[in-house]
């Protein structure tokens, strides 16, 4: 039986990725959770956060954690924070 990941801190410990799928343009992007360390609250549920598509900027409602095993580095997107965004945690 598969257990649901409780929060962002658990996903960091398990070295998971965040998959954001856009319903409008059908793009799917995978980020490493490690890229968001310090910017997302460790006790946050990523499904409840507001995510936007990298291409068309529409809000995406399909966000899940995924295992990075078997995913090539070339298929991972790297998230860089905007210059105005500061680390919180």
Q: Per-domain residue ranges for the chain?
A: 8-71
Residue-wise pLDDT tens digits, 22-60: 999 999 999 999 999 999 999 999 989 999 998 899 999
Which strands, in side-by-side order, build the sheet including 16-21?
28-32, 16-21, 62-67
Quote the CA–CA distance of 50 and 86 in Å, as a whole number: 18
Evaluate if residue 1 carries a pLDDT over 70: no
- Taking the alpha carbons at both ends of the chain, their separation in whole angstroms is 32
Helices (DSSP H) in 1-89: which residue ranges?
8-13
Q: What is the pTM of this model?
A: 0.87
pLDDT band at residue 67 under the 50/70/90 scheme: very high
Opening angle at CA 44, ends 72 and 41, nearest 5: 85
């Amino acid at each position: 039986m598969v257990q649901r990941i409780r929060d962002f801190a658990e996903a960091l410990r398990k070295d998971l990725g965040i998959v954001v799928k856009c319903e409008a343009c059908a793009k799917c992007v995978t980020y490493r959770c490690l890229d968001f360390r310090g910017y997302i609250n460790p006790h946050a549920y990523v499904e409840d956060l507001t995510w936007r598509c990298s291409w068309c900027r529409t809000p995406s409602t399909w966000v899940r954690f995924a295992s990075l095993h078997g995913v090539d580095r070339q298929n991972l997107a790297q998230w860089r924070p905007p210059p105005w965004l500061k680390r919180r945690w």
